[in-house]
Amino acid sequence: MIDQVAGEFCHWPLGDGVVHWADSESEFSWIKAKEFAVRVVFTNTGKYLSDIEMKVLQGSWEGKTYDELAKIYGYSAEYLNKDVGNKLWSKLSEALGQKVSKKNFKEALLRAGEEQRNTFSNKNELLPASPSATEVPFPEGSEALDSPFYIEHCGIKSLCYETILKPGSLIRIKAPKLMGKTSLMTRILAHAANQNYQTVYLDLSSVDRAILTNLDKFLRWLCLMVGRQLRLKNQLNDYWDTEILGSNDNCTVYFEEYLLAEIDCPVILGLDQVDRVFAYTEVIEDFLGMLRSWHEKGKISQRWKQLRLVMAHSTEVYIPLDMNQSPFNAGVPVELLEFDVKQIQDLAHLHDLNWNHSQVEELTRMVGGHPYLVRLAMYYVSSLKVTLEQLLQEAPTEAGIYSNHLRRHLETLQKSPELALALKQVVTSSEPIELDSMQIYKLHSMGLVQRQNNYVTPRYNLYREYFRRVLV
């Protein structure tokens, strides 16, 4: 049966780079399937499953169609199928050594699990006891609401909770990637939902490129997706006047006269990955100006007081905006900082790691207090029994646990040779380097450098050692 398999996940390295199973009979649940998929993909391909890939995998496990997943998560079915799905099944196919699709992936995971169990049963080895796979989940991006591994950023959450309850409020969350923006937004929306507010979450990184190159299409997409999550019928054709009104006006009218009018409570609109639209000059200036005008309307209009905005972004828009049209100089700014020593020690305790101060210092010398980089290190040390010394030695190499993270930054830099050259100067110098303001701004937004007045240094030794080697 697909839903049954002999075996239990256990966490220890046995030298062959595969996930191992103990001998006890146990249900092949989603939790175990998820853990197995994450590990077997990373072990055999060196690739990670992204957050959205995990959502598609779980939804497929539960028998949901792409159309159903699109409605749940606010993505287009075409994006989930042709983009996310294709990459997901390709990774699993490569990892499992067989053709895997949405239709047969359960059977493929089952067979692979059984093969591993049989391999170790035949060896007749006594396997050491270790924590359950569910105790220390693999860090995949944002932390779930019930995750014990979420560490609050120094009172920021309570500030956001207070702000979101205020009429017409705007919260701007800014930080480099993987610093916890989505995790914080999720908690803000959950807090609002507990107050019986309606909440909408939209990840703008999922929007099709063809939509982002056309302002009218993009704003119609926005109205449609918000309406769906509010469980309201699509009435765009009744309100969209293309002969007289512009796209911004049509979108504003649709919100004011239909969406907000139909909801008798505050509506929280969470816009994640807002910087995805920054590169699209066809939409960005009008879109951001519209968001700013909505915020201003919330100061005087009872209906617009119902709408509260939460925006999360890694960078800021590079095109010049009128200060009265930009949402980036309004509302409450929230910048997520790195974990301090106490927060890192708290996180180590959650991973059952009895680290002393010098061990915490060793890790922070390599990766600072970056939440994801710290969390990933603790996962491997606590779950896979890799020593901290070995992990740090391999960290800036292709064999290290941060290789995918580093390569993503490298791919971005390769698309901008001037920026890559600027970073090369920074990582090869023993002294702070002076760069032009835009280079400093972009590298800092990526999280690669730290600023000292008009000078910069590498943010972490991880970046210094890796980019000093690869930027040639």
Contact 277, 212 (CB under 8 A): yes
Contact 464, 428 (CB under 8 A): no
Q: Are residues 23 and 37 in the same domain?
A: yes
Does a structural domain hold residue 177?
Answer: yes
CATH number at residue 190: 3.40.50.300
Does a structural domain hold residue 322?
Answer: yes
Predicted confidence at residue 27, as pLDDT, reads 46
Q: Is residue 442 helix, strand or coil?
A: helix
Q: Are residues 77 and 96 in the same domain?
A: yes
Identity of the amino acid at 356 = N
Does a structural domain hold residue 133?
Answer: no
Q: Are residues 297 and 381 in the same domain?
A: no
Does a structural domain hold residue 449?
Answer: yes
Does a structural domain hold residue 429?
Answer: yes
* CB contact set of 149 (below 8 Å; sequence gap of 6+): 137, 139, 143, 347, 350, 351, 375
**What does the alpha-carbon distance between residue 48 and residue 37 come to, in Å, rounded to a whole number?**
10
**What does the alpha-carbon distance between residue 8 and residue 27 come to, in Å, rounded to a whole number?**
9
DSSP code, position 206 = G
Of 349, 369, 394, the one marking the end of a domain is 394
Of 77, 106, 123, the one marking the end of a domain is 123
**What does the alpha-carbon distance between residue 203 and residue 69 come to, in Å, rounded to a whole number?**
14
Q: Are residues 207 and 327 in the same domain?
A: yes
Closest C-alpha to 150, from 354, 346, 388: 346
Residue 319, φ and ψ in degrees, nearest 5? -75, 145
Of 101, 123, 145, the one marking the end of a domain is 123
**What does the alpha-carbon distance between residue 272 and residue 202 come to, in Å, rounded to a whole number?**
6
Written as six digits, the tokens of 172 are 């701007």
Q: Are residues 382 and 410 in the same domain?
A: no
Written as six digits, the tokens of 379 are 């996962």
Q: Are residues 318 and 228 in the same domain?
A: yes
Does a structural domain hold residue 36?
Answer: yes
Range of the domain at 244: 156-335
Q: Are residues 385 and 434 in the same domain?
A: no
State how beta strands 20-21 and 307-313 pair: unpaired
pLDDT-flagged residues of the chain (< 50): 1-27, 120-134
State how beta strands 455-458 and 449-452 pair: antiparallel
Q: Are residues 174 and 284 in the same domain?
A: yes
State how beta strands 455-458 and 433-434 pair: antiparallel
Written as six digits, the tokens of 75 are 């993505």
CB-count exposure of residue 297 (10 Å: 0-12, 13-18, 19+): middle
Contact 271, 312 (CB under 8 A): yes
How many structural domains comprise the chain?
Answer: 4
Written as six digits, the tokens of 334 are 């929230």
CA 243 to chain centre: 40
Predicted confidence at residue 120, as pLDDT, reads 42
DSSP alpha helices (H): ranges in 298-356? 302-305, 341-350
Predicted confidence at residue 125, as pLDDT, reads 39
* CB contact set of 348 (below 8 Å; sequence gap of 6+): 354, 355, 360, 378
Does a structural domain hold residue 194?
Answer: yes
Closest C-alpha to 376, from 178, 187, 181, 185: 178
Identity of the amino acid at 388 = L
Predicted confidence at residue 360, as pLDDT, reads 93
Please name every residue paired with 132 in a beta bridge, in sequence order, or none if there are none: 10
Predicted confidence at residue 320, as pLDDT, reads 56
Q: How far apart are the first and last CA of the chain?
A: 53
Does a structural domain hold residue 148?
Answer: no
Closest C-alpha to 376, from 356, 407, 347, 338: 347
**What does the alpha-carbon distance between residue 409 and residue 373 come to, in Å, rounded to a whole number?**
14
Q: Is residue 466 helix, strand or coil?
A: helix
Q: Are residues 327 and 351 in the same domain?
A: no
Q: Are residues 354 and 446 in the same domain?
A: no
Predicted confidence at residue 203, as pLDDT, reads 93
Q: Are residues 246 and 313 in the same domain?
A: yes
**What does the alpha-carbon distance between residue 219 and residue 283 come to, in Å, rounded to a whole number?**
9
Measure Cα distances from 89 to 45, 79, 159, 247 in Å.
Answer: 13, 14, 41, 38
Dihedral sign computed on CA atoms, order 86, 405, 144, 227: negative
Radius of gyration of the chain (CA): 24
Entry field: residues in the chain: 472
**What does the alpha-carbon distance between residue 163 and residue 171 come to, in Å, rounded to a whole number?**
8
Q: Are residues 383 and 409 in the same domain?
A: no
